[in-house]
Amino acid sequence: MRRFIPALAFGLSIVSLPAGADAPKPATPNDIIAAAPAKDWVRIAPSDLMVMDLAPDASGKARRVVIQLMPAPFSQGWVGNIRKLVAARWFDGIAVVRAQDNYVVQWGDPDGETEGKAKALPAGLGTVTEAKYVTHQSMHAVCDRDVCPQAPVAIDATFQQISADPYAGSIGFGSGWPFAFEEGTGEAWPVHCYGMVGVGRNTSPDTGTGAELYTVIGQAPRQLDRNIALVGRVIAGMEHLSTLPRGTGDLGFYKTPQERTPIASVRLGSDVSGLPAYEYLSTESASFAAYVDKRANRKDDFYIQPAGGVDVCNVPVPIREVSR
């Protein structure tokens, strides 16, 4: 489970309240998460998880990264491609090829741009030709290639205007994900927060296939919103990507093959035995609303000045690991 406690000092847990204090401790975001009833937690279907095992580290320790795929109606052309790539075991044996500090870690076929050496893509998979980086509030099937394999997310009813945003008219949460939203056009789109997974591509109008992916390891590069497809987010094992040595080539690419981290295998969660179950705190729940409010207005033993607002990417949706 992710930790949200932001205390910054040593030994904070052993700090005593003043003797005789009987006022209840003010609630923190973590208190709210801990108190959320079971009904506020939503199980993520294992078939919506992508389990990426990197090669073990230098000391032989396993490095597993778990990615939740983006729900319909967003980015489904690319998500469909990725499901085909996983089914074909295409990702097995490729590598992390880039790590640029405060930006992205990226993985793909190291020979992808070398004619005659690029790994062949599975049949039935191609470049997503229409750049459908946005969809509409009304949720009328605006899915890539008109394929909506799942029930559309109900963002129209649940968007919350939690704060001013530099990049969009409104921001909020739906079905467990952060989104941006423009009332004028009725458009909605997923946002580039820390840990989000997107589709590497070349210059426009290329939109990428999904065979080359990256995740955000720094300040949210929101300028990429509506310019690149977001297809998921890392929900466990993020540290195995964020701590990788930064590449010293242009854009943080590794200069030598030896610097790359091989990817041993990528499987859907439904094909991995012994995988824990994962749940997110329903973004439609009262618990989540209280959590957002507390993220925006910290006032407790540590915080003396509540901010009165919060960035959409500074409200990580709580996700927990549970025994099955």
Binding mask 239-278 for its own copies (x = CB under 8 A): x--xxxxx---xxxx-------------------------
Pick one of 127, 265, 307, 320: the residue that binds its own copies (CB under 8 A): 307
Q: How far is the CB of 149 from its own copies (least distance, A)?
A: 26
The angle subtended at Cα 306 by Cα 33 and Cα 320, nearest 5°, is 15
Check residue 12 for interaction with its own copies (CB under 8 A).
Answer: yes
- For 128, how many CA atoms within 13 A lie in the half-sphere containing its CB? 28
The smaller minimum CB distance to its own copies, of residues 243 and 270, is found at: 243
Q: How far is the CB of 63 from its own copies (least distance, A)?
A: 12
Distance of CA 174 to the CA centre of its chain: 14
Binding string to its own copies for residues 203 to 242, with x set by CB under 8 A, is what?
A: xxxx-x---x-x--xxxxxxxxxxxx---------xx--x
Site string for its own copies, 111-150 (x = CB under 8 A): -xx-----------------x-x-----------------
Please, which of residues 15-34 interact with its own copies by CB under 8 A?
15
Determine the Cα–Cα distance for residues 76 and 132; give it in Å rounded to an integer. Answer: 9
Half-sphere exposure of 254 (CA within 13 A, CB side): 20
One-letter identity of residue 77: G
The DSSP code for 93 is T
Residues 31-60 that bind its own copies (CB under 8 A): 58
Number of residues that bind its own copies (CB under 8 A): 83
Options 44-52, 145-153, 259-267, 307-315: segment touching its own copies (CB under 8 A): 307-315
| Nearer to its own copies (CB atom), residue 28 or residue 137 | 28
Q: How far is the CB of 99 from its own copies (least distance, A)?
A: 8
* CB-CB contact of 195 with 236 (8 Å): no
| Alpha carbons 309 and 140: distance in angstroms, whole number | 32
Shortest CB 97 distance to its own copies, Å? 8
Contact residue for its own copies among 53, 144, 279, 311 (CB under 8 A): 311
**Closest separation between CB of residue 314 and its own copies, Å?**
6
Choose between 48 and 212: whose C-beta lies nearer to its own copies. 212
**Are the CB atoms for 318 and 289 separated by under 8 Å?**
no
Token couple for 210: 């999904």
Residues 6+ apart with CB under 8 A from 66: 49, 50, 51, 52, 234, 235, 236, 237, 269, 275, 278
- State the minimum distance, in angstroms, from the CB of residue 128 to its own copies: 14
Rank residues 226 and 267 by Cβ distance to its own copies and give the closer one: 226
Integer Cα distance of 219 and 172 in angstroms: 18
Query: Per-residue x/- mask for its own copies, residues 175 to 194, rule CB under 8 A?
Result: ------------------xx
* Tokens 């097995």 sit on residue: 92
Q: DSSP readout, 72-88?
A: TTSSHHHHHHHHHHHHT
Residue 57 and residue 52: Cα distance in Å, rounded?
A: 14
